């Protein structure tokens, strides 16, 4: 995914936690060839990456360890993310991911405050009477954490792809109507824009159109669809609206469905005229 991760990294042995597990998972996603070695002391002149041990750049156990401006102390995962996260998802999303996902884990590791995800990772440790190798259990936990990170990152990348698609369509907007070539999450790009409606192919066939909200808080619509259409049947709608293939209008007037692109656009134009 990105470069500059050496092929060998050290972390502490013994009982593992969400911090060192997610740190290892991140490194393996960044460099699938990296070998994570668990030790109790960092060998002198070691030339790889060291995290969560050794009081170096990616440790947090030393005096005057780094703390975020909001007061949440860094743990190893947060320090690694600070170094490499923007290269994976961009600066804005890296900051958002740090706040929502990493900071609770860093805070748990530094204070023991508790975290559901940290508890799940901790459950991978061998029980007191188990004969399983802690290193084998660590590897299982890291594989589990890799899946979580992969899914989270794919979600971020998906939203970024959606934003790019929607912004291209926004550049071709006509009369406040944005037409998408396929459905994609659109609110992050269209709510703050001049767009009033968005039209896209429906998974059920035909086309859907939605009225764009004024904002993300009140969810009030710039132009709701006509009140006379709301909740009416597929048989009634063409007669009431004068739009031949109009077949659905949500009772809350934010969504319609039509058989053709042209009729979906006509429904948006009718909604604007009514206001």
What are the pLDDT digits (tens) for 172-216? 999 999 999 999 999 999 999 999 999 999 999 999 999 999 998
Q: What is the pLDDT of residues 240-253, one digit of tens each?
A: 999 999 999 999 99
Task: Please give the model's pTM, rounded to 2 decimal places.
Answer: 0.85
**CA-CA distance, 101 to 214, in Å (whole number)?**
29
What are the DSSP calls for 209-236, one per residue?
Answer: EEEPBS-TTT--BSSPPPGGGTT--TTT
Percent of the chain with pLDDT over 90: 95
């Amino acid at each position: 995914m990105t470069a500059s991760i050496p092929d060998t990294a050290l972390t502490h042995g013994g009982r593992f936690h969400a911090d060192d597990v997610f740190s290892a998972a991140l490194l393996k996603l960044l460099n699938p060839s990296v070998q994570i070695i668990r030790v109790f002391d960092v060998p002198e002149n070691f030339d790889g990456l060291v995290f969560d041990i050794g009081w170096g750049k990616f440790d947090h156990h030393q005096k005057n360890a780094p703390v975020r401006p909001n007061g949440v102390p860094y743990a190893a995962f947060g320090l690694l993310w600070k170094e490499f996260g923007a290269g994976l998802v961009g600066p804005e999303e890296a900051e958002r991911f740090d706040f929502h996902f990493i900071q609770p884990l860093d805070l748990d590791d530094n204070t023991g405050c508790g975290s559901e995800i940290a508890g799940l990772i901790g459950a991978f440790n061998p029980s007191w009477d188990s004969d399983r190798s802690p290193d084998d259990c660590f590897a299982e936990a890291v594989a589990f954490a890799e899946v979580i990170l992969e899914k989270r990152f794919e979600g971020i990348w998906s939203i970024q792809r959606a934003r790019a698609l929607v912004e291209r369509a926004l550049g071709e907007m006509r009369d406040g109507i944005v037409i998408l070539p396929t459905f994609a999450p659109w609110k992050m790009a269209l709510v703050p824009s001049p767009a009033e409606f968005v039209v896209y192919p429906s998974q059920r066939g035909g086309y859907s159109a939605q009225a764009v909200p004024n904002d993300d808080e009140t969810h009030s619509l710039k132009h709701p669809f006509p009140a006379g259409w709301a909740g009416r049947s597929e048989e009634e709608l063409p007669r009431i609206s004068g739009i031949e293939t109009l077949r659905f209008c949500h009772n809350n007037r934010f969504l319609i469905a039509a058989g053709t692109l042209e009729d979906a656009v006509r429904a948006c134009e009718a909604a604007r005229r009514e206001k």
